[in-house]
Structure 1
Amino acid sequence: MLRALAAAGLFLLSLAASAQVASPYAIEHPPWFAHSFLDLREDIADATRDGKRLLLYFGQDGCPYCARLMQTNFTQRPIVDKARQHFVVIAINIWGDREVTWVDGTRLGEKAFARQLGIQFTPTLVFFDEKGNIALRLNGYYPPRRFEAALDYVAGRMESRHAFGEYLKGVVKDEASPTLHAEPFFLPPARSLARQPGGKPLAVLFETPYCSACDEMHREGFQRPEVRAELSKVDIARFALGELDQWVRALKILYTPSIVFFDAQGREVFRTEAYLRPFHLAGAFAYVSSGAYLKEPSFQRFLQARAEHMREQGKTVDLWK
Structure 2
Amino acid sequence: MRRLLVLLVLLCTVSPAPTLAQIGDEVLPPVFVETLLELPDDAAQAAKSGKRLLLYFGQVGCPYCKEFMQTSFAQKTIVEQTAKHFLSIAFNIFGDREVTWFDGKTRSEKELAKFLKVQFTPTLLLLDEKGGIIGRINGFYPPHRFSAALDYSARRLEGKLSFAEHMKAVPQTGASATLNEQPFFMKPPFNLARKPGAKPLAVLFETRHCAPCDELHKEGFKRDRILAALSHFDVARISLSGREALTTPDGRRSNAEAWGRELRISYTPSVVFFDDRGREVFRLEAYVRSFHFASSLEYVGSGAYRTEPEFQRFLQQRAEHLKAGGDQPDLWR
TM score, norm. by length of structure 1: 0.50
| Partner in structure 2 of residue 161 of structure 1 | none
Is it true that 1:319 corresponds to 2:316 in the alignment?
Answer: no
* Corresponding residue to 1:83 among 135, 148, 153: 148
Is it true that 1:260 corresponds to 2:272 in the alignment?
Answer: yes
Structure 1 unaligned blocks of 5 or more:
1-44, 53-75, 92-140, 146-174
Change (3 A) 1:265 1:49: closer
% identical aligned pairs? 50
Runs of 4+ in 1 over 3 A off after TM superposition: 45-52, 84-91
Secondary structure in 2 aligned to 1:144?
coil
The answer to whether the Cα contact below 8 Å between 1:207 and 1:257 also exists between their aligned partners in 2 is yes
Which amino acid in the other structure matches residue 312 of structure 1?
A: A
Change (3 A) 1:264 1:86: closer
| Partner in structure 1 of residue 172 of structure 2 | 144
| Partner in structure 2 of residue 270 of structure 1 | 282
Secondary structure in 1 aligned to 2:268?
coil
CA distance, structure 2, for counterparts of residue 142 and residue 81 of structure 1: 10
Deviations 1:208-247 (A, max 9, x none): 1111111111100111111111111111000111122221
CA distance, structure 2, for counterparts of residue 211 and residue 50 of structure 1: 29
* Corresponding residue to 2:297 among 285, 288, 291: 285
Which amino acid in the other structure matches residue 144 of structure 1?
A: Q
| Partner in structure 2 of residue 128 of structure 1 | none
The answer to whether the Cα contact below 8 Å between 1:178 and 1:210 also exists between their aligned partners in 2 is yes
Is it true that 1:308 corresponds to 2:320 in the alignment?
Answer: yes
The answer to whether the Cα contact below 8 Å between 1:283 and 1:303 also exists between their aligned partners in 2 is yes
| Partner in structure 1 of residue 115 of structure 2 | none
RMSD: 2.8
Secondary structure in 2 aligned to 1:218?
helix
The answer to whether the Cα contact below 8 Å between 2:148 and 2:170 also exists between their aligned partners in 1 is no
Secondary structure in 2 aligned to 1:187?
coil
The answer to whether the Cα contact below 8 Å between 2:239 and 2:257 also exists between their aligned partners in 1 is no
CA distance, structure 2, for counterparts of residue 201 and residue 49 of structure 1: 40
Which amino acid in the other structure matches residue 188 of structure 1?
A: K
- The 5 Å alignment of 1:1-321 reads 51=84, 78-85=143-150, 88-89=154-155, 143-145=171-173, 175-243=174-242, 244-321=256-333
Deviation at 1:50, TM superposition (A): 6.3
Deviation at 1:285, TM superposition (A): 0.8
The answer to whether the Cα contact below 8 Å between 1:277 and 1:319 also exists between their aligned partners in 2 is yes
CA distance, structure 1, for counterparts of residue 235 and residue 229 of structure 2: 11
CA distance, structure 2, for counterparts of residue 206 and residue 82 of structure 1: 22
Which amino acid in the other structure matches residue 189 of structure 2?
A: A
Higher relative contact order (CA 8 A, sep 6+): 1
Deviation at 1:200, TM superposition (A): 0.4
Deviations 1:40-63 (A, max 9, x none): xxxxx97999647xxxxxxxxxxx
The answer to whether the Cα contact below 8 Å between 2:175 and 2:209 also exists between their aligned partners in 1 is yes
Deviations 1:262-300 (A, max 9, x none): 000000000010121000000111111100000000111
Deviation at 1:143, TM superposition (A): 4.6
Secondary structure in 2 aligned to 1:200?
coil
CA distance, structure 2, for counterparts of residue 176 and residue 49 of structure 1: 27
Secondary structure in 2 aligned to 1:222?
helix
Secondary structure in 1 aligned to 2:308?
coil
Deviation at 1:84, TM superposition (A): 4.3
Deviation at 1:307, TM superposition (A): 1.1
Deviation at 1:79, TM superposition (A): 2.5
CA distance, structure 2, for counterparts of residue 285 and residue 296 of structure 1: 14
Secondary structure in 2 aligned to 1:260?
strand
Which amino acid in the other structure matches residue 177 of structure 2?
A: P
TM score, norm. by length of structure 2: 0.49
Q: How many residues align?
A: 177
CA distance, structure 2, for counterparts of residue 49 and residue 230 of structure 1: 40
CA distance, structure 2, for counterparts of residue 299 and residue 314 of structure 1: 23
CA distance, structure 2, for counterparts of residue 260 and residue 228 of structure 1: 17
